[in-house]
């Protein structure tokens, strides 16, 4: 056991809420190997087509998201409250909020572009 390691308690409501565009906000918690985020999407909000080397698990707490998967965006999956979508590394995907939605995204490893602000694909008009 690593005696110097410490646990940290986080409260979502105490964390800063970053506005990415008119339709999407988020809060982040990052550990050494994993990132978890609350993503707040207004109905009609769009996460544009992108891919990343991170494994992603999306758990919808409230609302619904329509994902389009693959290079041709030809696979549609609707994820509703209480459902979880696992997205493997490098799989192109986009999403649209079918209603006001709160989802939890988990990434391994943490998304460096989210940490350093180079996630321009999210910072458009949404």
Q: What is the set of domains in the chain, with CATH numbers?
A: 16-122 (2.60.120.10)
Buried b (16+ CB within 10 A) or exposed e, 42-78: beebbbeeeebebbbebbbeebbbebbbeeeeeeeee
Q: Is 125 exposed, middle or buried (0-12, 13-18, 19+ CB in 10 A)?
A: exposed
Q: What is the pLDDT of residues 64-106, one digit of tens each?
A: 999 999 999 999 999 999 999 999 999 999 999 999 999 999 9
Please tell me the pTM assigned to this model: 0.92
Q: Is 1 exposed, middle or buried (0-12, 13-18, 19+ CB in 10 A)?
A: exposed
Predicted pLDDT of residue 126: 45
């Amino acid at each position: 056991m690593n005696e110097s390691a410490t646990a940290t308690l986080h409260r979502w409501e105490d964390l800063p809420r970053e506005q990415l565009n008119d339709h999407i906000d988020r809060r982040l918690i990052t550990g050494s190997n994993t990132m978890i985020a609350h993503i707040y999407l207004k109905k009609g909000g769009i996460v544009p087509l992108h891919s990343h080397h991170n494994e992603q698990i999306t758990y919808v707490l409230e609302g619904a998201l329509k994902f389009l998967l693959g290079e041709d965006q030809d696979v549609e999956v609707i994820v509703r409250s209480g459902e979880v979508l696992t997205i493997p590394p490098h799989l192109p995907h986009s999403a649209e909020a079918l209603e006001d939605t709160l989802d939890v995204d988990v990434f391994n490893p943490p998304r460096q572009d989210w940490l350093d602000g180079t996630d321009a694909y999210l910072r458009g008009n949404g």
